[in-house]
A and B are shown apart, each in its own frame.
Chain A
Amino acid sequence: MDLQQRLRNTFVEALALGEDVDVENLKYRDIDEWDSVGHMALVAAIEDEFDVQFETEQVIDMSSFKVSLDMLKDLGAE
């Protein structure tokens, strides 16, 4: 499974997203599930899944699915 697909699955699971959600175009606070509580769970889930550690600034700047995918690539996640 490629990085994007795995990240998508992590989003769906951590935020308990329904099937109709357009995950790839999702932005922070666009939907109720991705609020600040969801964000905390999401960050922890991504860190666990990809064995990476985000800095504080990255957690604050993680404003969309696409941004988080770019951050993962920058961290060398595979």
Chain B
Amino acid sequence: MTTTAESVFGLSQAEREAALLPVLTELTEHHRTGGEPYDRILSSLGIARGASFDSVEQLPWLPVRMFKHHVLKSVPDDEVFKVLTSSGTTGAEVSRIYLDKEAAADQPRYLGKTLRTVLGDQRLPMLMVDTIGIIKNRRSFSARGAGVLGMANFGRKHVYALDENDRPDVEAIKGFLANHGNEPFLIFGFTFMVWQYLYEVAREHELDLSNGILIHSGGWKKLIDRAVDNAEFRRRFAEDTGLTRIHNYYGMVEQLGTVFLEGPSGNSLYCPDFADVVIRDPETWREQPVGVPGVIEVVSTVPRSYPGHVLLTEDLGVVHGIDDGDWPGKRFSVLGRLPRAEARGCSDTFSGSPA
């Protein structure tokens, strides 16, 4: 795609950190001014107002679960436009993320800038590996519905691969491919649904997906018992359906608009220029060297209406290399949830029928 001029995958690690540090430092002050609970948390860590930091690694991070126990927002109540909640499993507490109008409008723009690197400017015909039922109840979307809607902007002539009973709609998929299969098209879905409802159907019916570009997310937990990891997922799709342009991404509701995107050669996630990751040793909290797993911290300059700019996730990850891959910066993988983290994730809300 001819998007290199404005690509958001352009900064080397040194350039990125130099660009991010002053913005993130300013954001830290901004969020302390805007929200008393966040200011109290940092004060209790002994971090003074107006503190300066020597590196991105030194910035104070907020554990994501804090969004479950505290009202963390940096805008006045009357400017709150939307409150998003993460998809908790039954009985679990949910995160609350507060957006003002500006933040709600920013978020698709950053996602757009990130994905245009692999999708280009044109909206491609789009196969949603989901059911239209997921967006039917307009007053209460699940996280899955919100994900589907957020991605819908990138496509046109949307076709849903599942019927309203969550069963694969083979005729709809075949019809979509008959109409659009000879030109580039976009496929979106949650990872395990793409596997269960698209891969298995495509293999069985010998469907040709070679002109597709797949964007998927949601974690590998449900695929582990099928012995499918990222590399195997790519290999089988390529071998059995011809689909080779596959981009997994990693992102969370607590840092909306920021996604870490798998590069064209696969098996590494990359940070857009407005974001970064720090992999921390869970004992010392120092940054781990390349190749050593640890807890993933995600940083981004996008969040302005809530203090989500430096977050310690509950995921394990590892940096594979720096400035040595498809795009500059750190490239990394997500290895799974921290052992003690409660189960949570977009795809956990789905319990459909087998393909």
Q: Does B323 contact A (CB under 8 A)?
A: no
The reply to whether A60 and B153 form a contact with Cβ atoms under 8 Å apart is yes
Contact with A along B67-105 (1 / 0, CB 8 A): 000000000000001000000000000000000010011
Q: A54 contacts which of B116, B123, B138, B150 (Cβ < 8 Å)?
A: B123
Q: Does B344 contact A (CB under 8 A)?
A: no
Q: Does B154 contact A (CB under 8 A)?
A: yes
Given that A37-B135, A56-B112, A56-B123 are known contacts, is A63 also in contact with B153, CB under 8 Å in the complex?
no
Q: A59 contacts which of B101, B104, B153 (Cβ < 8 Å)?
A: B153
Given that A36-B149, A37-B149, A53-B122 are known contacts, is A60 also in contact with B156, CB under 8 Å in the complex?
no
Report how many A-B pairs have Cβ atoms within 8 Å: 45
Q: Does B121 contact A (CB under 8 A)?
A: yes
CB distance from A23 to the nearest CB of B (A): 20
Considering the complex, which residues of chain A in the window 21-78 have a beta carbon less than 8 Å from any beta carbon of chain B? 29, 32, 35-37, 40, 43-44, 47, 53-57, 59-60, 63
Complex alpha-carbon distance, A47 and B104, angstroms: 25
Complex alpha-carbon distance, A54 and B116, angstroms: 14
Contact with A along B110-128 (1 / 0, CB 8 A): 0010011001011100000
Chain A, residue nearest B139 (CB): A32
For B149, list chain A residues within 8 Å (CB). 36-37, 40
Total number of A residues with any Cβ neighbor in B under 8 Å: 17
The reply to whether B109 and A59 form a contact with Cβ atoms under 8 Å apart is no
CB distance from A31 to the nearest CB of B (A): 12
For B119, list chain A residues within 8 Å (CB). 56
The reply to whether A59 and B123 form a contact with Cβ atoms under 8 Å apart is yes
For A32, list chain B residues within 8 Å (CB). 138
Complex alpha-carbon distance, A13 and B105, angstroms: 25
For B157, list chain A residues within 8 Å (CB). 44
Total number of B residues with any Cβ neighbor in A under 8 Å: 23
Contact with A along B127-155 (1 / 0, CB 8 A): 00000000100100000000001101110
Q: Does B167 contact A (CB under 8 A)?
A: no
For B123, list chain A residues within 8 Å (CB). 53-56, 59
Q: Does B158 contact A (CB under 8 A)?
A: yes
For A37, list chain B residues within 8 Å (CB). 135, 138, 149
Q: Does B321 contact A (CB under 8 A)?
A: no
For B152, list chain A residues within 8 Å (CB). 36, 40
Complex alpha-carbon distance, A1 and B28, angstroms: 54
Complex alpha-carbon distance, A54 and B121, angstroms: 9
For B22, list chain A residues within 8 Å (CB). none
For B135, list chain A residues within 8 Å (CB). 37
Chain B, residue nearest A33 (CB): B138
The reply to whether B138 and A56 form a contact with Cβ atoms under 8 Å apart is no
For A29, list chain B residues within 8 Å (CB). 81, 101, 104
Given that A53-B122, A53-B156, A55-B123 are known contacts, is A60 also in contact with B112, CB under 8 Å in the complex?
yes
Contact with A along B52-70 (1 / 0, CB 8 A): 0000000000000000000
The reply to whether A56 and B154 form a contact with Cβ atoms under 8 Å apart is yes
CB distance from B142 to the nearest CB of A (A): 14
Chain A, residue nearest B150 (CB): A36
The reply to whether A60 and B109 form a contact with Cβ atoms under 8 Å apart is yes
Further 20 A-B residue pairs, CB within 8 A, beyond A37-B149, A40-B158, A56-B121: A29-B101, A29-B104, A35-B138, A37-B135, A40-B149, A47-B156, A53-B122, A54-B123, A55-B122, A55-B123, A56-B112, A56-B116, A56-B122, A56-B153, A57-B112, A57-B116, A59-B153, A60-B112, A60-B153, A63-B105
Query: Can you list 9 A-B pairs with a CB-CB distance of less than 8 A?
Result: A29-B81, A35-B138, A40-B149, A40-B152, A53-B122, A55-B122, A56-B153, A57-B121, A59-B153
Binding site for B on A (CB under 8 A): 29, 32, 35-37, 40, 43-44, 47, 53-57, 59-60, 63
Binding site for A on B (CB under 8 A): 81, 101, 104-105, 108-109, 112, 115-116, 119, 121-123, 135, 138, 149-150, 152-154, 156-158
Report, nearest first, the 3 A-B pairs whose CB atoms are least far apart.
A55-B121, A36-B149, A59-B153
